[in-house]
A and B are shown apart, each in its own frame.
Chain A
Amino acid sequence: MVLITLVSSDEQNFPVERELLKQSGTIETLIVNMNLDDEDTDAAAMPIPLPNVKGDVLEKVIQWMEHHKGDPVKEGDNEDNNAEIVVPQWDDDFFKPAMYGSKHLELTVAASYLDIKNLLTLSCKAISNTFKGKTGPQIREEWGVPNEFTPEEEEAIRKENEWSE
């Protein structure tokens, strides 16, 4: 089993099975560029730095990839049929403890940076699920976002949307 070492922004090392990393478009590109798949290259001696991902977030990403090992990897930028996407129970349980906090958002941004399409899709879907049936102020309160709008601006947005019949 070939192991490749990922190095987080806070310089933690994570030896990861080569096969798992096929889920990340960004790491896959780096592996190719660094010739880490060549038999002559000592992959273990060439760690891949990921300066945009902190250790605790990278650990969660690897945990997610381990569970999804063998899942088909999406190619290109094909759009999902958004209405049909359901967050599986395992992923829901995986996201839940960090939901409404910065950790889940950091995981989502890491999925975007590392180009792990399935993780990004499910993570974004899980975030959008928290908006359902909530008003703007309720979403802000749950996610701890301070209100940037004046009452006049909020009223203007409300009026723009109230125009039926």
Chain B
Amino acid sequence: MSPPKMSLASLPVDVVARILKFVDVEHFQNVRKISRRWNEIVLRHPFTKPAIDYFSFLKLVDQWNFQIVLEKRHLNYFGLANWRKERVENETVTVRMEMLIKTDEEKEKLLNRLGLLFSRASTIAELEVKWLYQLYLIDSVMGRVKIDEFVASTHMVYPCQNLFKNKHDRKLGQPGQVAKFVKEHSVQKFVLNQACLSLSNEKADLVKLFAEVSLLVHCIQYNTMDKRIRSYAMKSTTWNEIRDEIARENSFTVELDMFKLSENNPFKDIIVRFTVTRSF
């Protein structure tokens, strides 16, 4: 008896995967219907999902604001065709949406949509959460989407517990939660911008944050502003001491950079940056 003829449905997995690399994501739903095998391979392979270049989120009272940068050809795939196109550059488009969310029903509907959007992406090259404490609003629907760079701003190293409405939501303000998020999404680089570090209250928290996160990422960068009316030399001494403390507690080298905002006013408004870059 001669062996059965080869068919599209019986191709080896590596050949199917190779063919899929030439198929536009918009057509995946069609090739999924070739056979159960093709359906499984499409769902299993991460390359069958496109990346989002940039995703930012900011909630202002009841208004949820999103800005997304992605390849133009993926607008329909992500269900963003009706979002406002802010900028179109070559193959890339920036879309924006502001949504008024006043009821739990509206919130649930939006989160469902966001969940689908994240589930359709392989990677987010840069996720920017304008306020770190608002991450808790969307992290439950982010699944395991990979995030290359995570950028967040915060008032405090660990956001004030009072910012959260209920006990459940307070989890993100606690130590360890940022590290958990970073680990779950395989974040490569974490950038935290803090308007102003309270040196007396938060120095220990900063050391703790570096300890939690620096082992999980390739690079952690922390930026803050020093507005104290002191000489540059005195500021420099203080920040070098903190740098040494972070380094000592965590056994790695911490780079310290200090930038003057203006040469005309050299004693105020110093931007301080700590960076740890690790090679794995």
Closest CB in chain A relative to B110 CB, distance in Å: 12
Enumerate chain A residues within 8 angstroms of B30, measured Cβ to Cβ: 131, 134-136, 139
Determine if B165 is an interface residue (Cβ-Cβ < 8 Å).
no
Cβ–Cβ contact B7 & A125, under 8 A: no
Enumerate chain B residues within 8 angstroms of A127, measured Cβ to Cβ: 8, 19
Cβ–Cβ contact B8 & A143, under 8 A: yes
Of the candidates B7, B18, B116, the one whose C-beta lies within 8 Å of that of A143 is B7
0/1 interface trace, chain A 18-36, chain B, CB 8 Å (1 if under): 0000000000000000000
Cβ–Cβ contact A137 & B14, under 8 A: no
Give residues of chain A (101-118) contacting chain B, Cβ–Cβ below 8 Å.
Answer: 102, 105-106, 108-109, 112
CA distance A143 to B38 in the complex (A): 14
Interface size class of A (residues with CB under 8 A): 35 or more
- Which residue of B has the minimal Cβ distance to A100? B8
Determine if B265 is an interface residue (Cβ-Cβ < 8 Å).
no
Of the candidates A102, A146, A157, A164, the one whose C-beta lies within 8 Å of that of B33 is A157
Determine if A161 is an interface residue (Cβ-Cβ < 8 Å).
yes
Determine if A45 is an interface residue (Cβ-Cβ < 8 Å).
no
0/1 interface trace, chain A 123-137, chain B, CB 8 Å (1 if under): 011011101101111
Enumerate chain A residues within 8 angstroms of B116, measured Cβ to Cβ: 163
Determine if B60 is an interface residue (Cβ-Cβ < 8 Å).
no
Cβ–Cβ contact B36 & A149, under 8 A: yes
Interface centre among B14, B20, B21, B82 (most CB of A within 10 A): B21
- Which residue of B has the minimal Cβ distance to A127? B19
Closest CB in chain B relative to A57 CB, distance in Å: 10
CA distance A132 to B23 in the complex (A): 8
Cβ–Cβ contact A154 & B33, under 8 A: yes
CA distance A106 to B23 in the complex (A): 20
CA distance A128 to B28 in the complex (A): 11
Given A82-B22, A128-B23, A163-B116, decide whether A109 and B36 contact each other with a Cβ distance below 8 A.
no
Interface of A, secondary structure class, is helix
- Which residue of A has the minimal Cβ distance to B82? A165
- Which residue of A has the minimal Cβ distance to B36? A148
CA distance A139 to B165 in the complex (A): 53
Determine if B29 is an interface residue (Cβ-Cβ < 8 Å).
yes
Cβ–Cβ contact B34 & A139, under 8 A: yes
0/1 interface trace, chain B 21-41, chain A, CB 8 Å (1 if under): 111000111111111100100
CA distance A112 to B20 in the complex (A): 15
Give residues of chain B (27-76) contacting chain A, Cβ–Cβ below 8 Å.
Answer: 27-36, 39, 76
Given A139-B33, A165-B82, decide whether A132 and B27 contact each other with a Cβ distance below 8 A.
yes
Cβ–Cβ contact A124 & B6, under 8 A: no
Closest CB in chain B relative to A128 CB, distance in Å: 4
Enumerate chain B residues within 8 angstroms of A144, measured Cβ to Cβ: 7
Closest CB in chain A relative to B252 CB, distance in Å: 33
Determine if A140 is an interface residue (Cβ-Cβ < 8 Å).
yes
Of the candidates A125, A139, A146, A154, the one whose C-beta lies within 8 Å of that of B22 is A125
Cβ–Cβ contact A140 & B34, under 8 A: yes
CA distance A144 to B34 in the complex (A): 10
Determine if B204 is an interface residue (Cβ-Cβ < 8 Å).
no
Closest CB in chain B relative to A112 CB, distance in Å: 5
Closest CB in chain A relative to B151 CB, distance in Å: 28
Closest CB in chain B relative to A21 CB, distance in Å: 22
0/1 interface trace, chain B 107-134, chain A, CB 8 Å (1 if under): 0000001001000000000000000000
Determine if A1 is an interface residue (Cβ-Cβ < 8 Å).
no
Enumerate chain A residues within 8 angstroms of B23, measured Cβ to Cβ: 128, 131
Cβ–Cβ contact A105 & B12, under 8 A: no
- Which residue of A has the minimal Cβ distance to B15? A112
Given A109-B12, A132-B27, decide whether A102 and B5 contact each other with a Cβ distance below 8 A.
yes
- Which residue of B has the minimal Cβ distance to A162? B29
